[in-house]
Structures are given as structure tokens and as C-alpha cells.
Structure 1
Amino acid sequence: MQAILIGAVEGSRVALDAFLRAPDWRLAAVATLPPDLSHRHSDFVDLAAPAAAAGVDTIFVRNVNSPEFIDTLDTLAADMVFVIGWSQLCGPAFRAAAGGRVVGYHPAPLPRLRGRAVIPWTILLDEKITASTLFYIDEDVDSGDILGQRFFHVAPDETAGSLYRKHMAALADLLDETLPRLARGNMSGTVQDPRFATWATRRRPEDGRIDWNRPAHEVQRLIRAAGRPYPGAFSTCGGTRIILWSAEPAPAADRHHAVPGQVLARSGEGFTVRCGDGGALVITEWETPDGSPPRPHSILGAA
């Protein structure tokens, strides 16, 4: 069978590798973002080089719903189109040109958490179990029939990076299971039950701003959820933005009297900040313009 792969992130690279492993599949083309639009995804991956190494044509596309790209879909006439790691919705003309066989990927247990930024939302919502999902793309958002799901636990100390890696491993397994079935002509999927649907809204870099009046465990959860490959949780000190990548609970925080956001101490391992519930966090990885942590007694907060 012949497919077109559309994407521009790590999951797209995982999918490319899966197609190259699948003996019954051939990629007619890989469609991806031109380099000048790489900023659309914080986890952007260049697919042009690995596609060229595999002898697969690369198509740079800015808008998959443009008439020019729709004509390209018509011309290539692939059996199926896989959209894995792409931020634009696939419109009616796109789906028609693909013959209605458009497969998407979502790092959530659909129908739960349809929408955007679901890896950060999984951590922010303190989900205990999640899933990677392959599904048919239809006229709505993440609502089509499910082709396959791989469930796994979310660790209490899960970070965006560790959860992202779990999803990439699950996606590889899903594709290895699903591609042979599709090649045999078994295209059936399971209808989603709308009674269990929830929706996750888009998150922007500014949503990573820390409110030190919140309890320590909530601040730590935001730091875990907003971390790499995403822009990071942040605060400011004297107008300087500080990105906080990693934190852990501070011992004996109740022995310190300070206001929320105040830096209690600084050591070789990091610096300690008071939170709104009387607890404190030791910031163990951070990023500032000069690489130095705030001084003790500094106040972190809004610029």
C-alpha cells in the first residue's frame, strides 16, 4: 500500500521509521514544514534529511488545506494519508482528496482529552493513566473511529519530557501493530463514545508563568508539565525572566518564615523558594541570561 505522511515533530519521525520497517507499505511522499516555519512547533524535527536518505520525496507545505496541496494529494493518489504531528485541522477538501482515509495520532486516551497541549494537560490534571491513540480524522476534532490505543501509567513525578518519550514508544508499537492490519484490508475502527469526551484547550508560553501563592505541589506540577520539549515554567526576578526546568520539595520548609516567592537559600545544588501554602521548592535546574540563581531574600514574581 502507498501512503503520504504529514508532520513536523518527533512523532512524525517515529512514523517515518515505522513505515520504513513495514514491508507492505511505501511512502509516496513526506509533507512537512519549510524551515522558516519551524517555530510553529517547540518539538520541531527536520524530516527532509531522513526522508531523502530513505529515497522518499519531501514536500514543503505551509497549509495542507491550500488548493495547491489538495492538487498534490489528488496527483499522488495514495491509499491513505497519515497526519502525525501537524497543527492544522484537515478540512473537507483535504479529506475528500485523500479518499476519506486520513489517519491521525493523539497522545491521549480518546475520547478523553481531545484538543491541544494534551501532554502538559495530562500532568496538570494529575491523570493516573493515559494512552496513545491512532484514529480516523473526520469533520470534528479528534472524534473519529479509533484504530488502536496503547494505555500506560503516568508516574507521580512524570515530566513533560518523560511522558513525551513514553508516547513516542507507544506510537512506534501502535504503528507496528496497525500498519500490517491496514495493509491486509482491515480498515475497521471503534466508534468513540461521546459521553466520555473531554476537551483540552491550547496552552501558550505565557501559561507557564508561576504563581508562588499556589501550594508547593501545584507549582512543582506546573514545572513538570511545562518543561522540555515545551517552553518551560517561568518566573521573574528584578525584571529578568527565569525558566525553571526542575524542582523538588524542600525539607523543613516550615522552619523558614517568608512571603510566597521569596528565595530562602542558595546552594551548589540550586535555590529554595517559598510557596503559598508554607511549603517550599528547591529549584535544581533553571535558566537565566547569566546562568546564576537569584540571591537569597530575592522575591520572584511578575515582571
Structure 2
Amino acid sequence: MTDGNSSEFIAQVKAVAPDITFVIGWSQLCGPALREALGDRVVGYHTAALPRLRGRATIPWTILLDEKITGSTLFRIDDGVDSGPILAQRFFHVAPDETAASLYGKHMTALASMMDELLPALAAGTATELVQDDRLATWATRRRPNDGWIDWTCTARDIDRLVRAVGRPYPGANTIGSTGQLTIWSTERFADADRYHALPGQVLQRDDTTFVVCCGDGEALRVTDFSGATIPPLHTHLRAAS
């Protein structure tokens, strides 16, 4: 990835001399030298309702934290991390079955709406800025693919939430069985879990395309979409990477 704060990149943006620069989908901080080269007219986009969830991996964290409402935010980038004044913001509900992909889609819809309103205001010099209330700030840390390993001793609800949070376009939730590593993309509640006596991670049922796994609270999940290894045999155990 290009270093956005390198002298070479800064020289390139100086040559372009943009009126306003938007930073969207860019994981690097914009340092003082870069912002100065851009005339300090740099607008960032954040997939959370700032000042809540400043930082990284905000779409997965929104689902993992079971947020009921979130938002998309356009803000002026300053010396902090997602701390600059807000230029536009859209709030929306997070569905109980929200996935990373569906939440991403909601953010893109909100971004398009905000840009339609903000661009003319920026061009006319009439855009308003709302200073963030730091008392309400929270921070989200970086997540890596290894954070998607499933701990089958967790509750079925928490495991399903992990699967939804790290699914496409992210690397997915992973587990290992006797047939090898599986990446699990979607699950659903298994209604007859109380009729089975099993240990967490044990396969209770399987057919040609799905299989059911016992979770730590005695509930179970049916895996409806997965990739990698073949369906594990009945009664075998799934586990995280050792």
C-alpha cells in the first residue's frame, strides 16, 4: 500500500492541488505534512456515529457490540484519530440479523445521501461544522483475521454474532474439524437443541449441505454457508486453531 505520508506522495498531491480531498476507505492517518500539502481541506469518512467508535474495524465492532443504532459520518480530519468536527451524519438502525455486508450497504447508501448535500455546501462555503463531544467518545481497536476463530464454548448468540460480524467482505469465521479448516459464512438457530446432549463444538446433525454444532450454552447453530473443508462427520468436535 502507498504510504500516504511519504515525501513522494505529498509531492504528487501538491502537484494536483485539489480544492478538497476526501479520505474514504483509507486506513492510514493523514499526518500534518500531508494535510498542509492539501491546504488542510481534508474530509474523512467513518462508518460509525462519531464520536462513538473512533478507530478501526467499525463495521465488525458495531455488530459484535450489538449496537442498536449506528451512523455514517463525514468529518474534517485533524491531528487526532477520527476526532475532527462533523460535517454530515446519518443515523440508522442495526437489524438483529445484520451482517457485515448488509451493514456496509447501509453505510454506502448513507454516504451517497450525505455527499449529495455536503458537496454543494462545501463548494459554496456554507458547510457547518459540529465539534465532537469527547466525553462521548469510544475507541475501536484493529481486528485481524485470527480474531475470527470460533470458540464453541461461547453462547450460540455470541457465535452467530461473530459469524455475521466477520463475514463477507471480511475473512470470515474459522474453525477446525476432522476434515480440516472451515470458514463459516452464515448460521441460523437450531430449534431442537434441547433434544440433544452434547459438548460444545460437537456436530449434532448433518446433511448434504449443512451441519449443526452444539454451543457452550447448550443451544446449537446450523451452519448454512461455509467453505474450505468438507462437512465434518457426525459427533466429531470442532475447535479453534491450536
1:214 aligns with 2:154: yes
Structure 1: state its 5+ residue gaps.
1-36, 38-61
Runs of 4+ in 1 over 4 A off after TM superposition: none
Question: Could you tell me which of 130, 135, 160 is aligned with 1:190?
Answer: 130
Q: Partners of 1:185 and 1:302 in 2: how far apart?
A: 54
Q: Could you tell me which residue of structure 1 aligns to residue 12 of structure 2?
A: 72
Deviation of 1:186 after TM superposition, in Å, equals 1.6
- Fraction of identical pairs, as percent: 61
Aligned residue for 2:78, secondary structure, equals coil
Q: Could you tell me which residue of structure 1 aligns to residue 121 of structure 2?
A: 181
1:149 aligns with 2:89: yes
Deviation of 1:177 after TM superposition, in Å, equals 1.0
Q: Partners of 2:222 and 2:18 in 1: how far apart?
A: 53
Q: Partners of 1:255 and 1:224 in 2: how far apart?
A: 26
Question: Could you tell me which of 179, 204, 214 is aligned with 1:274?
Answer: 214
Deviation of 1:269 after TM superposition, in Å, equals 4.6
Once the two structures are superposed, residues 13-33 of structure 1 have per-residue CA deviations (whole angstroms, 9 ceiling, x without a partner) of xxxxxxxxxxxxxxxxxxxxx
Aligned residue for 2:110, secondary structure, equals helix
Deviation of 1:181 after TM superposition, in Å, equals 0.8
Once the two structures are superposed, residues 44-98 of structure 1 have per-residue CA deviations (whole angstroms, 9 ceiling, x without a partner) of xxxxxxxxxxxxxxxxxx1111111111222222111111111111001001111
1:96 aligns with 2:36: yes
Q: Partners of 2:5 and 2:192 in 1: how far apart?
A: 57
Q: Partners of 2:25 and 2:44 in 1: how far apart?
A: 9
Q: Could you tell me which residue of structure 2 aligns to residue 288 of structure 1?
A: 228
Deviation of 1:188 after TM superposition, in Å, equals 2.9
The amino acid of 2:236's aligned partner reads S
Once the two structures are superposed, residues 95-135 of structure 1 have per-residue CA deviations (whole angstroms, 9 ceiling, x without a partner) of 11111110000000000000000000000000000000000
Q: Partners of 2:155 and 2:27 in 1: how far apart?
A: 33
Q: Could you tell me which residue of structure 1 aligns to residue 105 of structure 2?
A: 165
Aligned residue for 1:174, secondary structure, equals helix
Give the structure-2-normalised TM-score.
0.97
Q: Could you tell me which residue of structure 2 aligns to residue 224 of structure 1?
A: 164
The amino acid of 1:123's aligned partner reads I
Q: Could you tell me which residue of structure 2 aligns to residue 22 of structure 1?
A: none
Q: Partners of 2:110 and 2:122 in 1: how far apart?
A: 18
The amino acid of 2:223's aligned partner reads I
1:204 aligns with 2:144: yes
Give the structure-1-normalised TM-score.
0.78
Aligned residue for 2:91, secondary structure, equals strand
The amino acid of 2:34's aligned partner reads F
Q: Partners of 2:116 and 2:82 in 1: how far apart?
A: 21
Once the two structures are superposed, residues 260-291 of structure 1 have per-residue CA deviations (whole angstroms, 9 ceiling, x without a partner) of 000001024510000000000000000124xx
Structure 2: state its 5+ residue gaps.
none
Q: Partners of 2:18 and 2:223 in 1: how far apart?
A: 50
Q: CA RMSD in A?
A: 1.1
Q: Could you tell me which residue of structure 2 aligns to residue 7 of structure 1?
A: none
Question: Could you tell me which of 241, 253, 259 is aligned with 2:193?
Answer: 253
Q: Partners of 1:86 and 1:93 in 2: how far apart?
A: 17
How many residues in Structure 1 have an aligned counterpart in Structure 2? Answer: 241
Distance 1:264 1:86, change over 3 A: same
Once the two structures are superposed, residues 128-164 of structure 1 have per-residue CA deviations (whole angstroms, 9 ceiling, x without a partner) of 0000000001001000000000110000000011001
Q: Partners of 1:302 and 1:112 in 2: how far apart?
A: 31
Q: Partners of 1:78 and 1:160 in 2: how far apart?
A: 33
Deviation of 1:238 after TM superposition, in Å, equals 2.9
1:131 aligns with 2:87: no
Question: Could you tell me which of 207, 227, 235 is aligned with 1:297?
Answer: 235
The amino acid of 1:300's aligned partner reads L
Q: Partners of 2:223 and 2:175 in 1: how far apart?
A: 12
The amino acid of 1:298's aligned partner reads T
Which deviates more, 71-80 or 201-210? 71-80
The amino acid of 1:301's aligned partner reads R
The amino acid of 2:7's aligned partner reads P
